[in-house]
Amino acid sequence: MIDIFGILGLILTVFFILVVLLLLITILLVSYSVKTKKVLFPGFILFVLDFLYYPLKILTEKLGLRKGYIDMISNDMRNFIYYKELSKIPFENRILLLPQCLRKRDCPAILDSMKGFQCTNCGRCGIGDLINFCNEKSINVFIVPGGSFVKKVIKLTRPKAIIGVGCHIELREASLVLEYLKIPGRGINLEKDGCVETKVNYEKIKKAVLIAKD
Ligand code: SF4
């Protein structure tokens, strides 16, 4: 008689060994990338991070690593993978999406249902200056009031590339949507997240929107 439990046990053991092996290789590759600033096999790293996303999230948090550590590495890998594709897209076919939480509490921008928050360049935050910078390169900027607005903007503007700013969770969710839509993108993490007056490195955004073929 076939020993079903024996076979199941064997399958589970082999699966477990494979997962541990994948993890060890990924840890080695990530450590190498962090040390040398050279990324080896980003597609493989991303595959493992996506495949083991929830267990890895729990594990890294239990180990005392920064919250969102896995999302940040995933975002870095995606940025690396899509760099070349993004660099080929003309500026006028790119859009930049900013979260509305970057604004100041007393921001006078008015919400337009089709265009998002309309910055008046009051100077209270860095968004006005960034919009001027992007306008010079014909890159459309949207201050996003919420997730459903992003879908609307993509439908309306049909961008060929999207650069987005957000917290690690938002960036991960957005990157999965972009992958599905086959739109190259680049995610820039907020330096201080939250619901109001978040912070970002504006120079990083300027560099990201200007990525071009050498
Ligand atoms: S610069 Fe624009 S987005 Fe920033 S607070 Fe002023 S109006 Fe609002």
Looking at residue 211, its pLDDT comes to 95
Of ligand 1's listed atoms, the one at least distance from the Cα of 129 is 1
Pocket test for ligand 1, best of 97, 120, 141, 202 (most atoms within 8 A of CB): 120
Q: At what angle do helices 42-51 and 53-62 cross, to 10 degrees?
A: 90
Of ligand 1's listed atoms, the one at least distance from the Cα of 120 is 7
Looking at residue 119, its pLDDT comes to 97
Q: Whose CA is nearest to atom 8 of ligand 1?
A: 107
Stretches in the chain below the pLDDT threshold 50: none
Does the predicted model carry a pTM greater than 0.85? yes
Looking at residue 30, its pLDDT comes to 86
The 8 Å CB, 24+ separation contacts for 53-61 are 56/23
**Which domains are seen in the chain, by residue range?**
4-83 (no CATH), 88-209 (3.40.50)
For ligand 1, say whether the CB of 161 is within 6 Å of any of its atoms: no
For ligand 1, say whether the CB of 126 is within 6 Å of any of its atoms: no
For ligand 1, say whether the CB of 109 is within 6 Å of any of its atoms: yes
Paired with 81 in beta bridges are none
Summarised one tens digit per residue, pLDDT across range 152-181 is 999 999 999 999 999 988 898 888 889 899
Looking at residue 184, its pLDDT comes to 95
Q: Which residues have a Cβ under 8 Å from the Cβ of 164 and sit 6 or more positions away?
A: 96, 97, 170, 171, 174, 185, 186, 187, 188
- Going by C-alpha positions, the residue among 11, 132, 29 that lies closest to residue 73 is 29
For ligand 1, say whether the CB of 132 is within 6 Å of any of its atoms: no
The one-letter code for the residue type at 174 is A
Looking at residue 1, its pLDDT comes to 59
Summarised one tens digit per residue, pLDDT across range 130-155 is 999 999 999 999 999 988 899 899 99
Looking at residue 12, its pLDDT comes to 92
